[in-house]
Structure 1
Amino acid sequence: MQTQAELLKHIIVTESLGKSVSTSEGTLHILSSIDLIINCGESIAIVGESGSGKSTLISLLAGLDTPSNGTIILNGQLLTGMDEDGRAAIRNELIGFVFQSFQLLQGLTALENVMLPLELSGDRNARLSAAALLDRVGLSHRLAHTPKQLSGGEQQRVALARAFVTRPSILFADEPTGNLDSKTGEYIIDLLFELNHENNTTLILVTHDQVLASRCQRTIKLDSGKIVSN
């Protein structure tokens, strides 16, 4: 049993975490016996073949999905003991996301997309904060453009700004360069790690890119739903 001080140092702790689903052919075990400790400010790459359980794991860690068994302690709080409202509240407070497909709202401008999470939290300085972070990622000249008017790399920069604008304690990135060419991907990754360092965020990313994984402090490899190296 870990002490409260240890739990606060370890921003994520899982014990015997598992996820199973029922199929027409029986029970499918997506994740099994995941014991994991992630420290505050650490950068982690989660790697493995397609179907190894990478995306399911970060969905569980972020409280987007619920496990079949085991526990998750997030920032000293028992995430697996919360209902959906509780998990949503802790996501809003602590977590940012960057996705392969950007997940920007098409009807909003770049500025409005970045402002949105701040507005939802009642931040009166949402416009100024969003504009400042878009300037930080080199998009001060694209504030009024909608996603359809932006390149893939520009959309991912907007997504990075939106993810960091609330100063999250944890950032989850799921294949953040998967839809980008190699040159643009390198730029986005440089920017991701710069912002991560500036904000002292715990970074947890899923990737097939070994070069990207090597830039993280630690790599966790999954195979058939189990950790095979950590």
Structure 2
Amino acid sequence: MPLTFWTLCTLNQNVLQEIIITENLGKSVTTSDGILHILSSIDLIIKSAESVAIIGESGSGKSTLISLLAGLDTPSTGRIVINGHELTALDEDGRALVRNQLIGFVFQSFQLLPSLTALENVMLPLELAGETHAKDIAESLLNRVGLAQRFHHKPKTLSGGEQQRVALARAFAREPAILFADEPTGNLDSKTGAHIIDLLFALNQEHHTTLILVTHDTVLAGHCQRTIKLNAGVLA
């Protein structure tokens, strides 16, 4: 007999190590032409330390799916459980707490604060969390991504690849259990993108992070252990 959603939620996570579970996940919005179904009936199980690529054509619902999984948006139907926390039962403050404790992000557009140096950008989430060794941790991570000579440079003086390396250092600074990467090489040339891919997966392996990657790049998707394809809002 197949396991039900609630059976899966109550099983010992040390055995199954399921860090993300969704059941009948859906997202719809009302438009001038009626109801638009962006996602429908998404059932997923993602295990701890697994790397998963979410692929599909533009408009297939990829970015909406990771927004829901990260608690940045709320679904119209279904449930999401992240590391034992049911996101769909939490208010915005509760979802923010789960994000702060468990989740890191890497974006296509880097999302660095322009007024801060590379070091300060990496230190910021650590300082907000009350980490007393924020500078030491940030320096160590920037060294790890090859930016030892760029600590005090602001984003506008860094190349695209350097900015994304700062973003990677920042994403791993708080040791997130789950890292969401949305088109992390989308703004980079192929050579720089390949270097970022290697660095992302090396860091992910070192930190034993669950990686969920949205991409159009089949080469990038091929680095993941598993690929999930969306087609017009449903699992293909």
TM-score, normalisation: structure 1: 0.98
Alpha-carbon distance in 2 for matches of 1:22, 1:58: 20
Could you tell me which runs of 5 or more consecutive residues in structure 1 were left unpaired when the two chains were aligned: none
Aligned to 2:32: 24
Aligned twin of 1:207: 215
SS at match of 2:149: helix
Q: Which residue of 2 aligns with 1:4?
A: 11
Superposition RMSD on alpha carbons, in Å?
0.9
Residue by residue over 1:75-112, the C-alpha shift from the partner in whole angstroms, topping out at 9 and shown as x without a partner, is 01111100000110110100000000000000000000
User: Following the alignment from structure 1 to structure 2, what is the Cα–Cα distance between the partners of residues 102 and 214?
Assistant: 22
- Partner residue, 1:105: 113
Q: CA deviation at 1:4?
A: 3.3
Q: Matched residue of 1:208: which SS?
A: coil
| Distance of 2:55 and 2:86 partners within structure 1 | 26
Shift of 1:6: 4.5
Point out 4+ residue stretches in structure 1 off by more than 4 angstroms: none
Q: Secondary structure at the match of 1:21?
A: strand
| Structure-2 residue corresponding to 1:122 | 130
For 1:88 and 1:76, locate their aligned partners in 2 and report how far apart those are by CA, in whole Å.
15
1:160 and 1:174 map into 2 onto residues whose CA distance is: 12
User: Which residue of 1 is the match for residue 202 of structure 2?
Assistant: 194
Partner residue in 2 for 1:163: 171
Aligned equivalent of 2:69: 61
- 1:29-108 counterparts in 2 under 5 A? 29-108=37-116
Does the CA-based 8 Å contact 1:4-1:76 persist in structure 2? Answer: no
User: Is the aligned partner of 1:131 residue 2:131?
Assistant: no
In structure 2, distance between residues paired with 1:24 and 1:162: 40
**SS at the partner of 1:141?**
coil
Q: Which amino acid aligns with 1:39?
A: K
Count of matched residue pairs: 228
Q: Write the distance in 1 (CA, Å) between the matches of 2:123 and 2:11.
A: 35
Q: Is the 8 A contact 1:147 1:155 kept in 2?
A: yes
CA distance in 1, matches of 2:154, 2:65: 32
Separation of aligned partners in 2, 1:195 and 1:19: 32
Please give the alpha-carbon distance, in whole angstroms, between the structure 2 residues aligned to 1:48 and 1:144: 39
